[in-house]
């Protein structure tokens, strides 16, 4: 089976990035969101991203035009019925994702692979929502999608080998390297990364060092390309909090408790780059 059309549910940061990666690779993309304004921002963001690649001579003007032409947007989920592969990239909310996946299965072709880009929700639990759970898989991209080379491919207990193979094929087609992961909270990268960022927030909260000193320490002392607090702003503090809450709930281990300062920042609406303010101002 050749993947020619990819449907994407959600036109936020991740959905937009996945759309750009697929369209640049020559795949037709249909992005669905319930908010027309969000869809407009999605296209504007992809256009800006492609323009930057053209300016850096990493993409031709012709390729930019072709990629933009390959993306369609819609508010009607039925428009995804012809897709070969559908990726859900909605908010990290179990009930919402389950509802969306049931809607997707109702309109998807029998051969269509259904995937989720979740960074924390159980793939097995989401698969159980579907009548055909064997065609469900986790396909976790990293932000910013056009730049980051990794995709985690997570199998539910129900996922078939054929589903995994097609997902690996799509990852290769869009220029990503994939790693196979068993279903567990946070999978591999976030299981390691998010507690590290959370601990950096504890260090800040306890006054051990300033934001700038913590970030400089990890950049210069651990050779990280970006400090953990700046990375938290990039990821989104609300996303980080959601992941830590899943860890805390699922592992029943106090080492995963979210830092109180993280909760306070989210309560204040300081979500990072996307809100103009997180640990730093943007």
Q: Is 143 annotated as a binding residue?
A: yes
Instruction: Determine whether the annotation assigns residue 148 to a binding site.
Output: no
3-state secondary structure of 64: helix
Note the helical H segments in 135-210: 161-173, 189-205
At residue 25, the 3 state secondary structure works out as: coil
Are 239 and 90 in contact, with CB atoms under 8 Å apart? no
CB 185 within 8 A of CB 251: yes
Ligand-binding site membership of 44 (annotated): no
Residue 207 assigned ligand-binding role: no
Q: Is 97 one of the annotated binding-site residues? A: yes
Q: What is the largest CA-CA distance in the chain?
A: 56
CB count in 10 Å sphere of residue 74? 15
Rounded Cα gap, residues 224 and 205, in angstroms: 21
Q: HEC string of 90-118?
A: CCCCHHHHHHHHHHHHHHCCCCCEEEECC
- Tell me if 252 is assigned to a ligand binding site: no
Say whether 14 counts as a known binding-site residue.
yes
Structure tokens at 190: 């976030």
CA distance 240 to 67: 31
- Between CA 11 and CA 41 the distance in angstroms is 8
274 has binding-site annotation: yes
Say if residue 120 carries a ligand binding annotation.
no
Query: Has 13 been labeled as part of a binding site?
Result: yes
Q: Which residues are catalytic?
A: 119, 140, 152, 190
Query: 14, 7, 55, 51: which is closest to 32 by C-alpha?
Result: 7
Whole-number Å distance between alpha carbons of 195 and 282: 24
Binding positions for NAD(+) are: 10-15, 33, 92, 97, 119, 143, 274
Binding-site residue set: 10-15, 33, 92, 97, 119, 143, 274
């Amino acid at each position: 089976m050749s993947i020619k059309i990819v449907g994407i549910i959600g036109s936020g940061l991740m959905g937009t990035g996945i759309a750009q990666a697929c369209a640049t690779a020559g795949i037709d993309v249909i992005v669905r969101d319930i908010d027309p304004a969000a869809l407009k921002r999605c296209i504007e963001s992809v256009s800006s991203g492609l323009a930057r690649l053209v300016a850096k001579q990493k993409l031709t003007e012709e390729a930019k035009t072709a990629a933009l032409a390959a993306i369609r947007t819609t508010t009607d989920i039925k428009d995804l019925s012809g897709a070969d592969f559908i990726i859900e990239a909605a908010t990290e909310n179990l009930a919402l994702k389950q509802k969306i996946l049931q809607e997707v299965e109702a309109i998807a072709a029998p051969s269509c692979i259904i995937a989720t880009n979740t960074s924390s929700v159980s793939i097995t639990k989401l698969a159980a929502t579907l009548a055909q759970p064997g065609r469900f898989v986790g396909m976790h991209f990293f932000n910013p999608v056009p730049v980051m080379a990794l995709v985690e491919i997570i199998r539910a207990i129900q996922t078939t080998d054929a589903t995994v193979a097609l997902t690996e094929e799509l990852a290769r087609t869009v220029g990503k390297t994939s790693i196979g992961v068993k279903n567990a909270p946070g999978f591999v990268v976030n299981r390691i990364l998010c507690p590290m960022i959370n601990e950096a927030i504890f260090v800040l909260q306890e006054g051990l060092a300033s934001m700038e000193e913590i970030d400089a320490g990890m950049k210069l002392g651990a050779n990280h390309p970006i400090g953990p607090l700046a990375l938290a702003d990039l990821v989104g503090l609300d996303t980080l909090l959601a992941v830590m809450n899943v860890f805390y709930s699922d592992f029943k281990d106090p080492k995963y408790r979210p830092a109180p300062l993280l909760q306070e920042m989210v309560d204040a609406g300081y979500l990072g780059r996307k809100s103009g303010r997180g640990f730093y101002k943007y």
